[in-house]
Amino acid sequence: MVHVQLINWSVQLRRSGSRQAVRLSAGAVCVCPDFAAQVPEFDADMARLIASGAVKGCLPARTRERCWSRFRVPVKGGLIVRNILEGHTGRTCGLRVGGSIDARKNLFERLKVASQYILPKRGLTAFAGRVAEAERGKLTTRLIGWFAGKYAVDMSEAQNPDISSYNSFNAFFTRPLKAGARPITTADFACPVDGAISQLGTIDDHRILQAKGHFFTTTELLGGDAALAAKFRNGSFANLYLSPRDYHRLHMPCDGRLTEMIYVPGSLFSVNPATARGVPNLFARNERVICMFESPEHGTFAMVLVGATIVGSMATVWHGVVKPKPANQITRWTYADENITLEKGEEMGRFLLGSTIVMLFPQHSIAFSADWAPERLVRLGETMGERPRL
Burial (Cβ within 10 Å: 0-12, 13-18, ≥19) of residue 379: middle
2 in any annotated domain: no
214 and 349 in a single domain? The answer is yes
Q: Is residue 194 among the annotated active site residues?
A: yes
Beta-carbon count within 10 A of 332 CB: 13
The rounded distance, in Å, linking the Cα atoms of 29 and 45 is 20
Question: Do 148 and 257 fall into the same domain?
Answer: no
In a domain, 183, yes or no: no
Whether 206 is catalytic is: no
Distance CA(207)–CA(246), nearest Å, equals 29
Q: Is residue 153 part of a domain?
A: yes
**Same-domain status, 300 and 382:** yes
Q: How confident is the model at residue 97, as a pLDDT? A: 41
In a domain? residue 179: no
Residue 75 lies in a domain: yes
Contacts of 240 (CB under 8 A, 6+ apart): 191, 192, 193, 195, 196, 197, 198, 356, 357, 358, 359, 378
Residue 104: predicted pLDDT: 54
Residue 91 shares a structural domain with residue 208: no
Give residues with Cβ within 8 angstroms of 211, minimum separation 6.
Answer: 198, 199, 273, 276, 277
Give the pLDDT confidence score for residue 112 in this predicted structure.
66
* 14 alpha-carbon distance from chain centroid: 34
User: Which pLDDT score is estimated for 29?
Assistant: 29
How would you write 319-353 as a 3-class SS string?
A: CEECCCCCCCCCEEEECCCCCCEECCCCEEEEECC
Q: Amino acid identity of 348? A: M
Do 378 and 321 lie in one domain? The reply is yes
Out of 236, 355, 365, 369, the active site residue is 355
The reported pLDDT for the residue numbered 210 is 87
Dump pLDDT digits (tens) for 251-278: 999 999 999 999 998 887 777 777 777 7
pLDDT of the residue at 311: 63
149 with 213, same domain? no
Residue 125 lies in a domain: yes
Number of domains present in the structure of the chain: 3
- Classify residue 366: in a domain, yes or no: yes
Averages of pLDDT over runs of 10 residues in the chain (390 residues) are 31 31 30 37 45 42 43 32 29 39 58 67 72 84 92 93 92 92 96 95 93 88 95 96 91 97 86 76 88 95 87 85 84 93 96 85 96 95 92
Q: Are residues 230 and 106 in the same domain?
A: no
Is 55 inside a domain boundary? yes
For residues 141 and 194, membership in a common domain is answered with no
Distance, first Cα to last Cα, the chain? 58
169 three-state secondary structure: helix
Tell me the C-alpha distance between 59 and 50, whole Å: 17
Residues 244 and 106 grouped into a single domain? no
Of 88, 115, 142, the one marking the end of a domain is 115
**Out of 251, 255, 295, 319, which one is annotated catalytic?**
251
Chain centroid, CA 22 distance in Å:
29
Does 109 share its domain with 130?
Answer: no
Q: List, for residues 178-198, the tens digit of each pLDDT value.
A: 999 999 999 999 999 999 999
Query: Any catalytic annotation for residue 248?
Result: no
pTM of the model: 0.71
In a shared domain, residues 357 and 222: yes
The vertex-278 CA angle with 277 and 284, nearest 5°, equals: 80
Give pLDDT tens digits for 76-102. 333 333 332 222 223 333 334 444 455
Residues in the chain: 390
- Does one domain contain both 111 and 125? no
Rounded Cα–Cα distance for residues 332 and 334 (Å): 7
Q: Which range of residues forms the domain containing residue 86? A: 11-115
* Residue in 43, 188, 194, 255 annotated catalytic: 194
